[in-house]
Structure 1
């Protein structure tokens, strides 16, 4: 009969990560309350869901629902402790009398219960912020939403509300910006659909320069392909100056801006901006919406990175989260200025098409994609 390999067992035990610091803060707090139940009134606002451990959650819920004994009763009788176990065990069957003793032994100083409670609240705030950041990333990458922009703005509002709530709970302090290295921005969506929308925008912009002159809300950074951004800027500059706009004048403007290079010859460039494909505002809205989703994705992964760094204090998370939201807020302002007829982000979602321009019915001749 084969014998168990003790070396392998030891290695497996070594692979188990140690509990996070909040685990010991929760143990110390619950141990303090088990020793001195009257301290429940001194720890401030604390809810069972603030605890990361399920068994700690259940035990604290039992404490809130069970009238504490007087100090004299508690020193002479274990009735309250037994009642806590009876109430909490249906939700946490693993709770035992030895477990309660472990919690009591894990409390170095019961008088510090208030400090332990602040640690529990701080870690709960970090987990809550991370969950909302992950939801923002998930929403930004969900291609099945009927109105992705409205969903993104609603989720951004929820995340901002979490930061506001945290700001009311945790005091500011010097050095409030996190020092966590920022992850790379989310990659731009350069699939054929995104590039075709940008090509349709260039063609329609050349055909309708009067509309382009009003499109200050569309910025080069909104485009998936830098070449498309540069060509749109050429068309916008011609329209803004009141100069004639057609494929030849766009070619001339592009030459002065150094866009006509070996990879894009003059014929390819003129084909790229030729034809008529509906309203440029319609295609511009689609380009801007894609940029909104990309920026939301970047914002979410940055805030999640802040929450993953245990060195960040709650207020550093607040400062870093608000700074990460700033770029999304700026893009959001342009989007809402462009689509004033759309409902607020927190209102009912609609499946209406962008307000400017027709649906995709006209497709211009084939163009270079380089």
Structure 2
């Protein structure tokens, strides 16, 4: 028999011996907090009898507990559970070490309920995410993610703590988990989007504030998107060669993540399409993958019986942080939530920054033609001492 079952028996035994303790327990301990159905039915029966004014459970009750309290409780509970006999309450009474410790026993029951509830809703989120991965949708994932978040906040209120995300210590570190299977369509959408952004870089302005490199599941696609963002940020031209050069500068070619042929194939200048639509599809897929990972992490935390409820809830909220970030960015992409202003990036906005000026100066002269030689206003790079004179 587990300590949790013993705690459920002890608190019910204490209430059979001293039903007046329901006055202090009824405000926070609920029937659904009991794991055993028969225990939940008995506690619900006690609450109902007290609400109906049973003399044994009132504040003014004094003297020995009447036998009617036990028989009435059993009779009421028998209508909601099977196999309950008149002997069962006596077994609960004998399992109670100290009746006056009922609040402590009740707190043990609540602690077990918190772990069970977190594990239950994390499991539902994980199943919803796996189903959405197969369907290519996000509706069930978004729903169950919100439910889990609300449950964590409500459980924190019941436990009496302020819900706040806290990073767990190394002993409870949150590991990414096994990689998810990826549909070929997701990879195709990623590649097509990068082609659209490379050939029509003005579309980056509409995506850069809500589409992140980590939303791409392919490491090579992540690096190409990072290169595109870097070029946009510096105000430099975007084409096959500039993206390739930026990817090389970031080490993506030397570490084998990308190669020249692949970058040029992905950044095909002939690709054209609505980048915003494909960007939203990629964020959708990222949300579902992030939800599956977060659900596994929260479920693993709930399985740690040594975690106090306050710690479990704080660590679980922290694990949901990346998921909430993707949900927020998806709402921005869908126009449900306003995103940060990027007026500074658009033509006709405020003057470019000194960084953008310097980047443009490295690429073009004043009339827009390519830089072929240093101008009087621009210093030439230092000459190499071993450079040979043309013959």
Please confirm whether the aligned pair reaches a TM-score higher than 0.5, indicating the same fold: yes
SS of 1:142 mapped into structure 2: helix
* 2: CA distance, partners of 1:96 / 1:242: 79
Alpha carbons 1:28, 1:116 under 8 Å: kept: yes
Alpha carbons 2:141, 2:291 under 8 Å: kept: yes
Give the corresponding residue for 1:294: 289
List per-residue Cα deviations over 1:63-121 (Å, max 9, x = no partner). 222324344463xx523322222222233332223322110011011111111112222
CA shift, 1:133, in A, is 1.4
Give the corresponding residue for 1:141: 130
CA shift, 1:341, in A, is 4.2
CA shift, 1:300, in A, is 1.1
* 1: CA distance, partners of 2:225 / 2:331: 21
Aligned mate of 2:14, from 9, 32, 35: 32
Give the corresponding residue for 1:332: 327
* 2: CA distance, partners of 1:146 / 1:231: 27
SS of 2:115 mapped into structure 1: helix
Which stretch shows the higher mean deviation, 51-60 or 208-217?
208-217
Which stretch shows the higher mean deviation, 249-258 or 126-135?
249-258
* 1: CA distance, partners of 2:182 / 2:24: 56
Q: Which runs of 5+ in 1 are unaligned?
A: 1-18, 344-370
Give the number of the structure whose alpha-carbon radius of gyration is greater.
Answer: 2
1:90-239 counterparts in 2 under 5 A?
90-143=79-132, 148-171=137-160, 177=168, 179-185=171-177, 187-216=179-208, 217-239=210-232
SS of 1:58 mapped into structure 2: helix
List per-residue Cα deviations over 1:138-173 (Å, max 9, x = no partner). 222223898944543333332222222222233459
Q: TM-score, normalised by structure 2?
A: 0.74
Aligned residues: 322
Give the corresponding residue for 1:16: none
Question: What CA RMSD, in Å, does the superposition of the two structures yield over aligned residues?
Answer: 2.8
List per-residue Cα deviations over 1:245-303 (Å, max 9, x = no partner). 33233333333333345785533431222131412222121111111111111111111
Q: Flag the 1:115–1:329 CA change in 2: closer, same or farther, 3 A.
A: same
Which stretch shows the higher mean deviation, 141-150 or 108-117?
141-150
Greater RCO, CA 8 A, separation 6+: 1
Alpha carbons 1:26, 1:120 under 8 Å: kept: yes
Give the corresponding residue for 1:8: none
* 2: CA distance, partners of 1:286 / 1:244: 26
Aligned mate of 1:64, from 44, 47, 61: 47
SS of 1:97 mapped into structure 2: coil
Q: Which runs of 5+ in 2 are unaligned?
A: 339-391
